[in-house]
Structure 1
Amino acid sequence: TEAALGAERQRSQQLADKASSLKDLIASLEADKARKAADQAKAADRKSADADTTASTAEPAAPPVPEGNRLTASAPFAALQGQIALPVIGQIKRRFGTDDGNGAMMQGDMVATQSGAIVTAPADGNVLYAGPFRSYGQLLILNAGDGYHVVLAGMSRISVATGQSVLAGEPIGAMGEARVASTSASQNGNATPELYVEFRKDGKPVDPNPWWADRFSGRT
């Protein structure tokens, strides 16, 4: 319900305010998610036990869903190497492991794109967090399963909410407008919007390049 989603967004924002790093944020969000799942399972068990003791006649079981109508299971994230398109039209300007320009190493890829470009989900997943976070600005974290998370930052607008499930290729946000830069920063005076993409496995950044199906042109 809308109220439940609102409460979940508020809770995730509280955790974000307390987290000191991206790693801490993901860990606290996953721990909170696991706690809620455990509470829901206990509540379901109690409800089932109560129903068993009060029901005198059993309702006929619902017929099974036809095999052809069942949703097919999505492929594990690790099996998608070489199959994921860039989440936005553009070119990778800075890659994982290179100098980030501030004396540190890039922990993801930076994709230069265009004003107002639509950002899509790189893979199926569940929105673990969507909102502002420290220097990342508008941050989106997708839980892609099997310990993998996809982190996206640099958007001006996020169109999905915490707790929502998304499919690969589904629009999840949009980039902002190109900002005017100094001539020392850019000869043409324009700085194109940039989307930061980080893949994490079990809390640690991993090189996303093996996953990209097309490392230059992006989604078309």
Structure 2
Amino acid sequence: MTSRFAFVGMVLLLAGVAGWQAAAQQGSALADAGEAGEALRHAGQSLAQTRARAEKLERSARSATAEADRTAREAAAVAARIQQSEAEIELAQARIAMIDRQREALRGRMAERQEPVVRLTAALQMMARRPLAFSLVRADSLRDTVYLRAVMETMLPEVQRRTAGLRAEIQRGRKLQEDARLAATQRRASEQALIQRKTELAALESRQRLASRVAQGVASREADRAMALAEQTRDLSALMGQLESDGAVRARLAALPGPILPPNRPGDVLVVSDAPAAAGSAAPSGIAWIMPVAGRLVSGFGERGDVGLTTGIALATNGGAQVVSPADGRIAFAGAYRGYGRIVIVEHDGGWTTLVTNLGRIGAIVGEKVVQGSPLGSAGPGRPVLTVELRRDGAPVNPLEQVRG
């Protein structure tokens, strides 16, 4: 009777194994264990950084008094929340990939444990079905029966031990399956939040455009001049050099003292304030700079390429990823440029300039002042590769060495 109960238990156990394996085969590994772990770590870091930046920008937007400044900071905060949602989606995908790898390894271990147990169960099943009365008719059959009974009594503890291991693996498999469902639910929630935040950003950008209609005439003239420069320059380096030169002239003109008013009473001595320091003379050695878009590093700064050493970094990002301004500044160029797709050039204080190429959509206007985190546009569809360059006084600088927060 004991052997029959053991056999029934084994049949139910192996049926559970088969059911779990069939369910587990529905998932697919998205990457190997090393890539999944690295993606999980990177996504976690991006999520923490974007969440902290979004909270900081939201506090800054609440404290801003001027309407234009408040709108700009609100847009930057929403853009940071968009990047947070993107990081949450990336984190959920990395978790799913890691779980898939663990489930695949678990299936392999269970297959190794299952095979000997199945053979043993088949032998026990055959013995359990042989009637004892039939064994008494033949002496050799009786000897075999006695021998098999003794073997069964010896093997039952081993069967229980192995089935206990299988039960534990099955429970682990069910836990992994539940984790995968939870990660998928979190990803769907992040995708819904992403859609909502993109809608909110579009409304903010529309409000910002309406509020800046007065300055659109100047911005339009600047945009026309920038496009004319793009046609005249031979390459992107020449365009950036010309824009940097224009920016330096503009900074010097803005630093000039205003008109000196006459004294209120005749005989008073005119007091002339000291002339301002030359532009850039007191500039800090670094810059508060963040990465404009999240992605996987494809090529680093100073690597050898087809046309010599690279002057920036290349990032493979998700389709439609949000691109933001890495620091406070002014849009010097926004539009298509031959061989580089849609590009945005941002001028910063202290002679710094950021270039982002191969955007899918541009949401910035030439002449517009931006704060750190202001939306510049978004990446194209598929798995686009964006190039990011950072320069100071025309000299390329490694962006990775300037990243803060």
TM-score, scaled to structure 2: 0.39
SS in 1 for 2:348: strand
Q: For 1:125-158, what per-residue CA distance to the aligned partner results, in whole angstroms no more than 9, with x for missing partners?
A: 1111111122112111111121211111010111
Greater relative contact order, per chain length (Cα 8 Å cut-off, separation 6+): 1
% identical aligned pairs: 32
Question: Is 2:361 the partner of 1:147?
Answer: no
CA deviation string 1:175-207 (max 9, x = no partner): 1101xxxxxxxxxxxxx1111100111112121
Tell me, yes or no, if the aligned pair for 1:16 and 1:133 is still in contact at 8 Å.
yes
Aligned to 2:222: 8
Aligned to 2:388: 197
1:29 offset after TM fit, Å? 2.2
Shift of 1:213: 4.2
State the distance in 2 between where 1:127 and 1:147 align: 14
Q: In the alignment, what sits opposite 2:314? A: 110
8 Å CA contact 1:77–1:148 kept in 2: the answer is: no
Q: Which runs of 5+ in 1 are unaligned?
A: 53-74, 179-191, 215-220
Q: Secondary structure at the match of 1:97?
A: coil
Contact preservation (8 Å) 2:353, 2:391: yes
Q: Secondary structure at the match of 1:212?
A: coil
Instruction: Give the equivalent residue in structure 2 for 1:208.
Output: 399
> What SS does the corresponding residue of 1:4 show, helix, strand or coil?
helix
Q: Which moved more, 1:169-178 or 1:202-211?
A: 202-211
User: What is the rounded CA distance, in whole Å, between the counterparts of 1:193 and 1:77 in structure 2?
Assistant: 33
Mapped contact 2:323–2:376 kept (Cα < 8 A): yes
In structure 1, how many angstroms separate the alpha carbons of the residues matched to 2:243 and 2:370?
18
Q: Which runs of 4+ in 1 moved over 4 A?
A: 33-42
Aligned length: 174
Aligned in 2, Cα 1:77/1:86: closer, same or farther, shift over 3 Å? farther
1:104 is displaced (CA, Å) by 2.3
Any conservation in 1 of the 2:244–2:393 contact (CA below 8 Å)? no
Q: Secondary structure at the match of 1:128?
A: strand
* 3-state DSSP of counterpart to 1:141: strand
Cα distance change on mapping 1:149 and 1:110 into 2, 3 Å: same
CA distance in 1 between counterparts of 2:387 and 2:355 reads 8
Q: Is contact 1:76–1:145 with CA below 8 Å preserved after alignment?
A: no
Asked if the contact 1:77–1:144 (Cα under 8 Å) also holds between the matched residues in 2, the reply is no
User: What letter matches 1:29 in structure 2?
Assistant: L
Q: CA distance change for structure 1 residues 95 and 24 in 2, over 3 Å: closer, same or farther?
A: same
2:10 maps to: none
Structural mapping, 1:85-164, within 5 Å? 85-100=290-305, 102-164=306-368
TM-score by length of 1: 0.68
Give the letter for the 1:169 counterpart: G
Counterparts of 2:310 and 2:385 in 1: how far apart (Å)? 14
The alpha carbon displacement at 1:24 in A equals 1.8
Please say if 1:18 is aligned against 2:232.
yes
Residues 76, 41 of structure 1: CA spacing in aligned structure 2 closer, same or farther, 3 A cutoff? closer
Over the aligned positions, Cα root-mean-square deviation in angstroms equals 2.9
- 1:34 Cα deviation from its structure 2 partner: 5.3
1:28 aligns with 2:242: yes
CA offset at residue 39 of structure 1? 7.5
SS in structure 2 opposite 1:23? helix
Question: Hey, what's the Cα distance between the residues in 2 that align with 1:170 and 1:79?
Answer: 16
Q: 1:207 to 1:38 in 2, by over 3 A?
A: closer
Amino acid at match of 1:93: V
Cα distance, 1:166–1:205 mapped onto 2, change above 3 Å: same
Residues in 1 aligned to 2:328 and 2:341: alpha-carbon distance in whole angstroms: 23
Deviation at 1:41, TM superposition (A): 8.8
Q: What secondary structure does 2:292 align onto?
A: coil
